[in-house]
């Protein structure tokens, strides 16, 4: 009861914060105008440049280069053992879960954001805010909350099949990949939705009106006009969800199927047993998966800005 009351209090507090945040920016809108002003760069010289470089290098070195180098040195000590068949199997599990969740989250986030654009009433706003609250809730709380209704559905199906056909179906959804993906969606849907909504809000409503006047329906307007303009935002949302799923641990530990581990679970298990050298390879894999998409995203943003300035 105490845990349930604490979880309910946390959810109410998060909903209030989300409502306050949305109210504070409800009159603020940013649209793409197609006009960009080239800004001049201020070049540092002498010791100012050296101090600025060191100031930027110190947190990178302490937070990434030194720990990453240490992990790499431990991982290459025994490459055959650390990068065994189990490592590649766990990598496959993590990549599949992250890719599937990212694709579904972007699709649902796009539907939510576009639905709110078409029907910006109170009921839609409440529904969207409620669906986006999961990111502020700990993964363990979400996992327990997901298992309860899924377990209830499994028990109801099993009872019905026993009473009707005398067959026990067992647990059809609990402890399956589908339940795990659902828990991820509850946890990270807000990441996808906020990114997609921010990208969609930059599109002027005049484009919707022009498309309607030319005979396009809501779906056609979304697919033929909004989606191409939002392509970078959709890719950004997918990358953010992908990275978050790769490193998610509490929900994975609770909801995952039996004998179905991920890189995050493997790192936790080996580190708990103080087998740090064996945990180095999966830890590096998680770091690499998190860094590579961010680098690609940064390059894409930089190229887009240069292209827009030239135009």
Q: Which domains does the chain have, with CATH numbers?
A: 62-197+231-310 (1.10.3720.10)
The token duo for 22 is: 């949305």
Q: What is the pLDDT of residues 2-12, one digit of tens each?
A: 655 666 676 67
Instruction: Look at residue 242 in the predicted model and tell me its pLDDT.
Output: 92
User: Could you give the CA distance from residue 178 to residue 219 in angstroms, rounded to a whole number?
Assistant: 28
**What local confidence, expressed as pLDDT, does residue 138 receive?**
79
Helical H runs in the chain?
Answer: 2-24, 47-60, 66-75, 79-82, 85-118, 122-131, 139-165, 177-201, 205-213, 218-221, 227-229, 231-246, 250-255, 263-272, 276-310
For the segment 72-99, what is each residue's pLDDT rounded down to a tens digit?
A: 888 888 787 778 888 899 999 999 999 9
The CA-atom distances, in angstroms, between 73 and each of 67, 84, 211 are 10, 17, 57
pLDDT tens digit sequence for 106-136:
999 999 998 888 888 888 888 887 787 788 7
pLDDT at residue 150, rounded to an integer:
87
Proportion of the chain above pLDDT 70, given as a percent: 85
d(CA 207, CA 215) in angstroms, rounded, equals: 13
30-34, 141-145, 291-295: which is most confident: 141-145
99: which 2 tokens?
Answer: 């890719």
- Identify which of 37-51, 206-220, 257-271 has the greatest average pLDDT: 257-271
Distance (Å, rounded) from C-alpha 144 to C-alpha 285?
A: 28
Give the pLDDT confidence score for residue 119 in this predicted structure. Answer: 85
Among the listed residues 135, 133, 152, 146, the one whose alpha carbon sits nearest the alpha carbon of residue 18? 133
pLDDT score of 27: 57
For the segment 202-211, the average pLDDT, to the nearest whole number, is 83
Q: How far apart are CA 234 and CA 277, in angstroms?
A: 37
> What's the pLDDT at 1?
53
pLDDT exceeds cutoff 90 at 103: yes
Q: What mean pLDDT, rounded, does the chain reach?
A: 82
- pTM, two decimal places: 0.80
The tens digit of pLDDT for each residue in 237-260 reads: 998 899 999 989 888 988 888 888
Nearest residue to 139 via CA among 180, 192, 98, 81: 180
- The Cα–Cα gap between 272 and 86 comes to 18
Length of the chain: 311
| Cβ–Cβ < 8 Å for 268, 157 | no
* 149-184 residue pLDDT tens: 888 888 888 888 888 888 877 777 887 888 999 999
| pLDDT higher than 80, residue 302 | no
* Average pLDDT of span 206-210: 83
Higher-confidence residue of 204 and 99: namely: 99
* Gap between the Cα atoms of 293 and 286, Å rounded: 12
- pLDDT of 34 strictly over 60: no
């Amino acid at each position: 009861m105490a845990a349930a009351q604490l979880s309910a209090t946390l959810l109410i507090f998060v909903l209030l914060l989300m409502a306050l945040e949305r109210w504070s920016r409800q009159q603020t809108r940013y649209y793409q105008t197609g006009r960009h002003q080239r800004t001049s760069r201020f070049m540092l010289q002498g010791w100012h440049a050296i101090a600025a470089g060191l100031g930027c290098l110190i947190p990178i070195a302490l937070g990434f280069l030194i720990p990453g180098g240490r992990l790499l040195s431990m991982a290459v000590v025994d490459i055959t053992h650390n990068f065994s068949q189990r490592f590649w199997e766990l990598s496959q599990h993590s990549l599949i879960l992250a890719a599937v969740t990212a694709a579904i989250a972007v699709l649902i986030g796009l539907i939510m954001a576009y639905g709110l654009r078409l029907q910006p009433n109170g009921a839609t706003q409440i529904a969207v805010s409620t669906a986006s609250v999961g990111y502020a809730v700990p993964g363990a709380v979400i996992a327990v909350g997901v298992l309860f209704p899924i377990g209830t559905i499994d028990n109801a199906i099993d009872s019905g099949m026993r009473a009707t056909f005398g067959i026990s179906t067992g647990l059809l959804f609990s402890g399956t990949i589908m339940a795990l993906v659902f828990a991820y969606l509850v946890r990270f849907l807000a990441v996808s939705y906020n990114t997609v909504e921010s990208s969609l809000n930059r599109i002027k409503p005049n484009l919707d009106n022009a498309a309607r006047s030319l005979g396009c329906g809501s779906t056609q307007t979304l697919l033929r006009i909004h989606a191409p303009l939002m392509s970078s935002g959709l890719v950004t949302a997918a990358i953010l969800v992908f990275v978050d799923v790769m490193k998610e641990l509490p929900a994975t530990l609770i909801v995952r199927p039996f004998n179905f581990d991920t890189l995050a679970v493997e790192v936790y298990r080996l580190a708990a047993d103080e087998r740090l050298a064996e945990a180095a390879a999966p830890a590096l894999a998680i770091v690499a998966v998190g860094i590579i998409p961010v680098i690609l995203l940064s390059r894409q943003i930089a190229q887009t800005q240069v292209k827009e300035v030239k135009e």
